[in-house]
Structure formats: structure tokens, C-alpha cells
Amino acid sequence: MASILVVDDEPEVVEAIRRVLEHAGFAVAVASSVESGLQITQERQPDGPLAYKPDAVATHAYLAAARAIGAEEVLTKPFDMADLLAAVRRLLPN
């Protein structure tokens, strides 16, 4: 089972994403900040760290922090859960 790290500071968003990903068969770890996400990646090494930006302006600093935890794709909120699943599946090996 592939493991995914979800990073967001909104507990309701994290819970919704966790439910969708677990329903799709993924193991999910959650973090409320990039710092805690970095700690989780060092401890557990998830298969797919995931980051997303709360608005359309993805700053250089934000993208650098997302890349530091291994995020290969950054989604912009709001996003559709189908888009989220598609992004996760694109990033994971078959």
C-alpha cells in the first residue's frame, strides 16, 4: 500500500483528503505545517508527499518549502478530489 503525506493547516481539509485517499487504498500521514511534514518524511519516508497552495499565488518560498518535503506536485485550493487522486496516481509508480 502506497503512503501519502498530506500537509495542510486546516484540520477539516486534512480530514476530507485523508478520507478520500484512504478510501482509494492509500495509507495517509498528515502534517499541519511544512516543518512537521519534513519531520514525518525523515521518519517514515512516504511514497508521495503532497502539498497545495491556498490561493493561486504560489510564492517562491512556498514552492521551495514544498520541494523540501519532497512534493513533486503542488495543487491550488480549491481543488476537486478527482484532481487530487489523479495527481497522486500520476506521481506514484504503478
In this prediction, residue 48 carries a pLDDT of: 63
Grid cell at residue 49: 508527499
Q: What is the pLDDT of residue 4?
A: 85
pTM of the model: 0.72
Q: Which domains are delineated in the chain?
A: 3-91 (3.40.50.2300)
Q: Which residues contact residue 87 at a Cβ distance below 8 angstroms, ignoring those fewer than 6 apart?
A: 50, 73, 75
Contact 29, 6 (CB under 8 A): yes
- Give me 33's grid cell: 505545517
Single-letter amino acid code for the residue at 1:
M
Per-residue pLDDT of the chain in tens (94 residues, 90 and over written 9): 788 888 888 889 889 999 999 999 999 988 888 778 778 878 877 776 555 555 545 567 777 777 776 777 777 777 889 988 988 888 776 6
d(CA 27, CA 68): 21
DSSP letter string, the chain: --EEEEE-S-HHHHHHHHHHHHHTT-EEEEESSHHHHHHHHHHH--SEEEEEESSS---HHHHHHHHHTT-S-EEESS--HHHHHHHHHHHS--
Q: Which three cell numbers stand for residue 61?
A: 518560498
pLDDT at residue 51, rounded to an integer: 54
